[in-house]
Structure 1
């Protein structure tokens, strides 16, 4: 009987290897091939077996990574496609399913996404309904992103912002902040740069005081709702327990 391969699409977590899920770590240790964006693979290097083949490439190499992973899976190998954070959120899982001719050979292993890791650093800002929104217009038209910003205001959602600002793309985050302030006022917000890494930076502030120059592609920004408040330097978005059950 032909040996059937397996393709595991793995979220390696926010940066600290101790936050990689145990199941993901086991798969990495036992894989025949590791594929991934080079910085993400470097984060999990201590887990990689010496006998394991490794394929890495750079930015915009997503299609090649997935194709290499699928080709080796079809040969009967156990392949781990390593993604940053979670395997699905703004990541590779959907592309794998789009390109695969054998979806039964695919298993998705989730990871801690940056919105949740950053939330833990900032306090408890995502305890209520929230939206995760990317400011990158590389794959999503800016006109659609603008509509989604308006929808965040309509629903008074907490909003975690990914890809907030790059060297070339500097206007989208200020646009979103202006829209949030116009609709809902000077909301509490915070950002975490290089979350769970050695050079981590954390800031809790308000929209009016937000310093855009401190924010880059390695930063997650979390904007509160009108219910969010700052307590002793931490953001808190009440779930509603005290309001409902206080006597």
Structure 2
């Protein structure tokens, strides 16, 4: 890699319909966030150029590009990976994917209990992971409320037997809360809370992780971490099985 200013980081989040981009240059930061729908790919480079212009740097002065690894929207993740990889390859700088759930949990690292970032995965399931004291204590998962209920029970205090304070964060927390509180023990304990402010895009958090320099450069040949196969892939597999 060529030598560059070490602190010009670009963060791109396309894991949801919201396009969220952040740039750190020197001691300053710039942000852009908008509901891009299905036109992320048409806007990414325009937004990057706009933020670089505001920061008075050129894209050639960037030192690394960060993007969401997943989980999230299949199409959105592919677009983000393609944009980040293309830019990193063109500029000969590191391409660094970061877990979407890590970014969602990061603002609540001081929560005195368990933090569960949540993305509605449809089909009565959620993408989620568990965090405690700012550290991940489970892998990314794709499961329904019953499974999440079981994991919450496993985190109870071994001495008192009480459930910990649970903070749900993300755009789909209300739906999961309603399902979890159908469990008598969780409902009776009053342990569930919903984060008061859930961002639609997480480029700010992605940028914060970038500045901590704890993430690992990605493989340019690797793809996003979808966790679940797409409907198209599942339908294709069914068709192949039927042919057999």
- TM-score, normalised with respect to structure 1: 0.39
- TM-score, normalised with respect to structure 2: 0.39
